[in-house]
Structure 1
Amino acid sequence: MKIQAFATHEHALRVRAQRNEVLSSNIANADTPNYKARDLDFASALKHAQGGPGGALPMKTTSTLHNQGVGFTSTGAELKFRVPTQPTLDGNTVETDVEQAAFAENAVQYRASLTFLNGAISGLRYAIKGGD
């Protein structure tokens, strides 16, 4: 059973998890020649995941093995290439310190979303139990 009151939090957690995967991939490929660092914009990805204005609904698939399309995540958000501040000779655009900072920030925001959701659920439990 899906509760609409928590739908936004569900989408936010899904997008944050997807962004963690993208940032992890960037860090893992820091030494891969010609690898291009990618990222997704959380606000536009969340809007897209909710099917809001400016965001189309994700593609309908009948199998988890279906490809979402080149440059798109499982949440339907478009992956964008990160522009490096200092390009390397081997064509790799991953800047490890930038990626690690983005990963840490995203992890903190993921945890904050979980804490907020837990607080909302605790409030509902409190109300249902009648203040006990």
Structure 2
Amino acid sequence: MSSIGSFIAVVDDELPVRVMPGRLLRLAKYRVREYASGEEFLASLSTDLPLCAIVDLHMPGLSGFEVQSCIRAANLQVPVVFITGSDDAALERAAHEAGVRNLLRKPFSSDELLEAIGGAIGSFGRNRMGG
């Protein structure tokens, strides 16, 4: 059975993109777990749910939209913040339709990331758990 964890999951196939938000979040007193693929992240959900997941939209294997779809299909309460390097305006609408309120375009600022995470966690009524 999954339990609510006290960490933020960063899911991106590019190591530098996982490292940057991970460092920032650790400085903000969050615990962080990094995943190199959507499949790796989804497999982890059977034992521990993050406070929030930062998920890249475009990855080999499962896309961010597919990861979000799997989370919803399993009825898991994991708020998601999408990140993307794409300028496609339609992604904003698609993210909202997938149930994700926050879409950050790379490169994003530290403040934008922290605000999106705070909003995502708050939308699920969870308290921030530092670590």
Q: Note whether the superposition's TM-score is higher than 0.5.
A: no
What TM bracket, shorter-length normalisation?
under 0.3
Higher relative contact order (CA 8 A, sep 6+): 1
Greater per-residue helix proportion: 1
Greater per-residue strand proportion: 2
TM-score relative to the length of structure 1: 0.26
